């Protein structure tokens, strides 16, 4: 088998990013039912909640789905065990290096795809047994690295001998085609799914995304190595001012405590943390997941045809 969708048993070569407090079992099932790989995100969950979400997802879909383990979660050891016991076929990881778990996951037939933002770290993950690398550029929403998707993906493709999935800043078919042109075998997306009908974030969060322009996001946490892309709002401005004033990590963490939950559940768009990628400026309407994926696939085909036409003119 050659293609990512065939390997994973899904229709499109699209992975839903694990999104803390958002990627529930219900949402993952909706994504899988719409033809992509749905993921339950462990950020903001405990081990028992993960188990419940896996069971819920199974009730709602007979399609494959996976789990994104947010490695800073204090219950990650138990969760790493749950994915084995529950026969989860596909695991992605975020916020760290999952090396110590990979051996056991591989013994149990799990396909492993760490989210990585540098070639050096990716090489280590491949030595540890990763099946794919998700190369995530700094255009992404949430926690980010330094490099852009455009520069990172081809270097990752050249640097590791496993297939590379591109993430960051991809919200339509043009982005999908670009990722494949750079050598990726599939894409992971987060931001554009936040405005799906099925996404459980508060309506105010969705409206803020639809209102956002190309320059709507900023990166907080640079001073303390916790770079996070969010929509610029009152909270973000205050955070950046605190950083500029030399605030310590503890003070900054205290300031943002619970802020993602405030945005996701309460719809607080002023003091909540509205994680979003730079692609939020492309979002125009709230649509069903099936339509988003279909448009991305069709848009990619038409972008690839345009590219072939252009190339024939200069070839």
Ligand X SMILES: Cc1cc2nc3c(=O)[nH]c(=O)nc-3n(C[C@H](O)[C@H](O)[C@H](O)COP(=O)(O)O)c2cc1C
> Closer CB to ligand X, residue 5 or residue 21?
21
Q: Find the shortest distance in angstroms from Cβ 165 to ligand X.
A: 9
Question: Are the CB atoms for 98 and 77 separated by under 8 Å?
Answer: no
The three state secondary structure string of 100-159 is HHHHHHHHCCCEEEEEECCHHHHHHHHHCCCCCEEEECCCCCEECCCCCHHHHHHHHHHH
Q: Find the shortest distance in angstroms from Cβ 240 to ligand X.
A: 19
Supply 259's token pair: 């802020």
Report the side by side order of strands in the sheet with 217-220. Answer: 142-143, 228-231, 217-220
> Closer CB to ligand X, residue 41 or residue 173?
41
Residue 142 — φ and ψ, nearest 5°?
A: 85, -150
Alpha helices in the chain (DSSP H): 4-8, 25-33, 47-60, 76-85, 99-107, 119-127, 149-159, 173-181, 191-194, 203-211, 234-244, 249-256, 259-266, 289-314
Q: Find the shortest distance in angstroms from Cβ 230 to ligand X.
A: 9
**Residue 196, beta-bridge partner list:** 287
Q: Find the shortest distance in angstroms from Cβ 193 to ligand X.
A: 8
Q: Find the shortest distance in angstroms from Cβ 192 to ligand X.
A: 6
> Closer CB to ligand X, residue 247 or residue 294?
294
Q: Find the shortest distance in angstroms from Cβ 312 to ligand X.
A: 31
Q: Find the shortest distance in angstroms from Cβ 280 to ligand X.
A: 8
Supply 130's token pair: 């990763």
> Closer CB to ligand X, residue 125 or residue 276?
276
Distance CA 9, CA 11 (A): 7
Cβ neighbours for 137, distance < 8 A, ≥ 6 positions apart: 117, 144, 145, 147, 148, 149, 150, 151, 152, 153, 166, 167, 168, 169
> Closer CB to ligand X, residue 222 or residue 247?
222
> Closer CB to ligand X, residue 37 or residue 192?
192
Distance, CA of 244 to chain centre: 29
> Closer CB to ligand X, residue 19 or residue 247?
19
> Closer CB to ligand X, residue 21 or residue 247?
21
Applying CB under 6 A, the residues found at the interface with ligand X are 17-20, 22, 41, 43, 68, 70, 94, 115, 136, 139-142, 167-170, 188-192, 275-277, 279
Q: Find the shortest distance in angstroms from Cβ 199 to ligand X.
A: 10
Question: Are the CB atoms for 48 and 22 separated by under 8 Å?
Answer: no
């Amino acid at each position: 088998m050659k293609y990512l969708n065939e390997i994973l048993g899904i229709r499109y070569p699209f992975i839903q990013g694990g999104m803390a407090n958002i990627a529930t079992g219900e949402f993952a099932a909706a994504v899988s039912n719409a033809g992509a790989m749905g993921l339950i995100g462990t950020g903001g969950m405990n081990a028992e909640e993960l188990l419940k979400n896996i069971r819920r997802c199974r009730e709602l879909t007979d399609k494959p789905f996976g789990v994104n383990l947010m490695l800073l979660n204090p219950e990650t050891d138990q969760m790493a065990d749950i994915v084995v016991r529950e026969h989860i076929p596909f695991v992605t990881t975020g916020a760290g290096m999952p090396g110590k778990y990979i051996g056991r996951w591989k013994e149990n037939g799990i396909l492993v795809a760490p989210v990585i933002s540098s070639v050096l770290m990716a090489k280590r993950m491949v030595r540890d047994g990763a099946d794919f690398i998700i190369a995530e550029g700094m255009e992404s929403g949430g926690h980010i690295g330094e490099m852009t998707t455009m520069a990172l993906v081809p270097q990752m493709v050249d640097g590791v001998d496993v297939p590379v999935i591109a993430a960051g800043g991809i919200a339509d078919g043009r982005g999908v085609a670009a990722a494949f042109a750079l050598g990726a075998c599939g894409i992971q997306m987060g931001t554009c799914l936040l405005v799906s009908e099925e996404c459980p974030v508060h309506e105010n969060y969705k409206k803020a995304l639809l209102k956002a322009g190309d320059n709507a996001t900023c990166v907080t946490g640079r001073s303390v190595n916790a770079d996070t892309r969010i929509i610029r709002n009152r909270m973000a401005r205050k955070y950046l001012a605190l950083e500029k004033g030399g605030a310590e990590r503890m003070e900054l963490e205290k300031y943002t405590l619970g802020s993602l939950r405030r945005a996701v559940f309460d719809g607080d768009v002023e003091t909540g943390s509205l994680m979003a990628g730079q692609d939020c400026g492309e979002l125009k309407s709230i649509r069903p997941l099936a339509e988003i994926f279909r448009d991305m696939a069709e848009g990619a085909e038409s972008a690839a045809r345009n590219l072939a036409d252009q190339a024939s003119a200069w070839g």
